[in-house]
Structure formats: C-alpha cells, structure tokens
Amino acid sequence: MATDLRLKDSLPAITERIVETYEECGGMNHLGHSPLPSYREIVDILGDFREILYPGYGRRQNLHMGNVGYHVGDLIDSLHDRLTQQIARAFRHDCKAKDLETDFEAEAQLDAIRLLESIPELRRTLADDVQAAFDGDPAAKNFNEILFCYPGLSAITVFRIAHELHLLGVPLIPRMMTEYAHGKTGIDIHPGATIGRRFFIDHGTGVVIGETTHIGEGVKIYQGVTLGALSFPRDEHTGEILRGTKRHPTIEDEVVIYANATILGGNTVVGHHSVIGSSAWITRSIAPYTTVTIENPKLRYRGTADPTGDIGALDYQI
C-alpha cells in the first residue's frame, strides 16, 4: 500500500499539541540547561562496579594477580570521574528543587571517593552473600554458577552499591540503580532498606523489600515475598502521606521466609530463628524460634479415574 504523503501534513499540528502539554503537565518533563543523571551512564557505572567486585566474571577475561591491579586501577580512575559528574547532576537538580546553592562538584567528588573507598568492605560482605547462596541452595554446584546465574545475587549486589550512596545522601541515583536491578531480575529492593550479611534470595522473582525494612544477618527468603507497609500514616491537618516514618517490618537474624509470604507494618518484628511458611500473611510481631504456617487447604479432584469410564466418576477431597 502506497504512503499518502498528504497525511504527513498533519504532523506539525500533532507536534504542536504535544509541546503544549509540556507546560500543561510540567512535572513530567525536565527542560533546561541543567542535565539530570544519565540512566545509560548509571547502568554502565554498575557494569564497571561488577568488573571490580567480581573480576574475571565480566567483560575482561584472562585476569591474574599480575595484571588485575592495572585493570582495576583504570576502572577506579574512570569511575571517579563519571561518578563525580553524575552525582553532581543529581545534587544540582535536587538543590534547585529546594532552592539551595552549593559547590556541587566538590561535594560530588567527595561522595564518589567515599563510595570507592567502600569497595573492599563491599567485597567482604558480598563474599558472605555468595557463601550463603551456596550453603542455602543444594542445586548450586559452585560459586561460578552463583556469580553468573543467580538473580538474587545480582539484585543484592546492586542494592549494596546503591545503599552506600543512599547513606551518603546522594539523591535519585540510588533509586535509579535499584530500579535497573528490578527490571533485570524482578527483585525490588529499595536502597533505603537495611540488610545484614549472609543474605540470600532464592529464585527471587516478585520479591519486594520496602524502604524502611530492617533485615538482620543470615536471612533467607524465597520468590514472591513482600516486606511492605501495612498502612501509610497521614498528616492530620493536610491529609498528606507522612514520609520518613518506619513503615516496613524488621526481620531478625537467621529467619527463613518461604514463597509468597507477606509481612507488613513498621511495628512488625519477626523474631530471630523463625520460619514463615508459604503464603502466610503477617501483620503482627512473631516471637523468636516460631514457625508460622497456613493449615493445608482441602484439595478437590474431579474427573474420571480411568479414561474408559469403567471405574466411574471421580469426585473426592483431600
């Protein structure tokens, strides 16, 4: 079918109507000379962090103790400059929104250095997370499989980087990082959450961990688990949601939470060494060493026991 060039005459009018909405819906566009952090650059920065945290498992192969220092040195030098630029953009935008003025580049460089200084301890923490994955999953053959294939480790790696930036007070970028991981793994961890060492997410898809969640050490969770808010407190005068309050649960050390369990509320504490069974709905605190399960529902089977029908109809419950 031939293209009707006359229809293209309507395109300028369409463009004009679109541009008009940029003033009408001003909160949905960022126009001006102050660029926001680049999403593509943030993703590339995460890739470089992975190269440093897990050398030999990424883009660069054939690394050994004789050359890995040069490789890491190049990455650190590049990350310093790129992080400084992106963090400065985030600060500049955040301060403009609050009508503040500061030396964005100097503050950004300091936070970039602090993040880079945290890498040795990040590696020690992630080594514990990898060990927890190996110890907690009999299907894991070796560390290579975990580092290459486990979405839970990918999500927690990005979270731990983003959490360091969150602690430094860097706006926007930590959330950009964790939402990238969310899109890649199906695991949604807010960078404001606090998560202890030896953390393992098995399978992972559908996991949600809210901003004010506190998770202790040695915790293991399965797919579909939600650690969320029970309700959103509001200002009694304006009705607006109060931000900065603890809305999400506390999970103490050595807890196991099975698939599709939901634990809600800022005052909800799951005591250490507890086990939360699949599909449980928890809105109050659980004492340590407690096992919470749902009683088995009845299963009903309908059909015929034999394709010929000789045995007759089948209808029974278990």
Place of tokens 């927890």: 132
Integer CA distances (angstroms), 135 to 54, 139, 240, in order: 19, 10, 45
Q: How far apart are CA 123 and CA 160, in angstroms?
A: 10
Q: How far apart are CA 107 and CA 95, in angstroms?
A: 12
Integer CA distances (angstroms), 262 to 3, 197, 213, 229, 230, in order: 54, 22, 13, 10, 10
The closest of 259, 229, 234, 260 to 246, measured between CA atoms, is: 229
* Amino acid found at 34: S
Helix (H) or strand (E) holding 45: helix 39-53
DSSP string, 154-195: HHHHHHHHHHHHHHTT--SHHHHHHHHHHHHHS-EE-TT-EE
Domains of the chain: 34-186 (1.10.3130.10), 193-235+244-318 (2.160.10.10)
Residue 226 pLDDT: 98
Q: How far apart are CA 48 and CA 113, in angstroms?
A: 15
Residue 24: burial class (beta carbons within 10 Å; 0-12, 13-18, 19+): exposed
Residue 315: band (very low, low, confident or very high) from pLDDT cuts 50, 70, 90: low
Residues 35-73: tens digit of each pLDDT: 899 999 999 999 999 999 999 999 888 999 999 999 999
Higher pLDDT: 291 or 3? It is 291
Residue 4: band (very low, low, confident or very high) from pLDDT cuts 50, 70, 90: confident
Higher pLDDT: 62 or 259? It is 259
Residue 305: band (very low, low, confident or very high) from pLDDT cuts 50, 70, 90: low
Residues 182-213: tens digit of each pLDDT: 999 999 999 999 999 999 999 999 999 999 99
Residue 40 pLDDT: 97
Residues 208-249: tens digit of each pLDDT: 999 999 999 999 999 999 999 987 767 666 767 677 789 999
Residues 111-139: tens digit of each pLDDT: 999 999 999 999 999 999 999 999 999 99
Residue 25 pLDDT: 79
**263 pLDDT above the threshold of 70:** yes
Residue 308 pLDDT: 56
The closest of 159, 208, 160, 196 to 272, measured between CA atoms, is: 196
Residue 258: band (very low, low, confident or very high) from pLDDT cuts 50, 70, 90: very high
Place of tokens 């930590």: 174
Higher pLDDT: 31 or 113? It is 113
* 18-27, 251-260, 265-274: range with lowest mean pLDDT: 18-27
| Mean model confidence pLDDT for the chain | 91
Q: Roughly how many angstroms between the first and final C-alpha of the chain, as a whole number?
A: 62
Residue 311: band (very low, low, confident or very high) from pLDDT cuts 50, 70, 90: low
**Which of helix, strand or coil describes residue 145?**
helix
Structure tokens at 271: 């005591």
What number of CA atoms fall less than 13 Å from residue 290's CA on the CB side?
14
Residue 7: band (very low, low, confident or very high) from pLDDT cuts 50, 70, 90: confident
Helix (H) or strand (E) holding 18: helix 11-24
Place of tokens 């309050």: 245
Residues 156-188: tens digit of each pLDDT: 999 999 999 999 999 999 999 999 999 999 999
**307 pLDDT above the threshold of 70:** no
Residue 30's CB is within 10 A of a number of other CB atoms, namely: 10
Place of tokens 């607006």: 240
Total number of residues shown for the chain = 318
**96 pLDDT above the threshold of 60:** no
Contact 180, 159 (CB under 8 A): no
Q: How far apart are CA 237 and CA 243, in angstroms?
A: 15
Residue 58: burial class (beta carbons within 10 Å; 0-12, 13-18, 19+): middle
